[in-house]
Amino acid sequence: MSAGRGPGAAARGYAKGKKDRYGRGDAYSNGSGSFYAQGTATQIATVMASLDALAGPKQPGDDRTLDQRRFDAFMDLICGRVQPG
């Protein structure tokens, strides 16, 4: 049986994802930056579903991509401009 399979593999993967969770950011010399988050698959799916709900469907006149709307929703949450839910 290969590594990562068999009885208990999902539970071990979840425990590792939970233990190894992190959030970190990088700033680059050109003025841009990145934020990275790692957690369990369930946690990341929850985050993405929340961001998608806040980003909403594209509205007429809004030229932002879905990824741009997700980022704006993320910033709104972090900065307290909207409430999670």
Over range 11-22, report the average pLDDT.
Answer: 82
Tell me how far apart the alpha carbons of residues 3 and 25 are, in angstroms, rounded to a whole number: 32
Give the three-class secondary structure for 10.
helix
pLDDT band at 12 (very low <50, low <70, confident <90, very high): confident
Q: What's this model's pTM, rounded to 2 decimal places?
A: 0.75
Task: Render pLDDT for 22-60 as a digit per residue (tens, 0 to 9).
Answer: 999 999 999 999 999 999 999 999 999 999 999 999 999
Cβ-based burial of 71 (10 A; exposed 0-12, middle 13-18, buried ≥19):
middle
Concatenated DSSP letters of 62-74: ----HHHHHHHHH
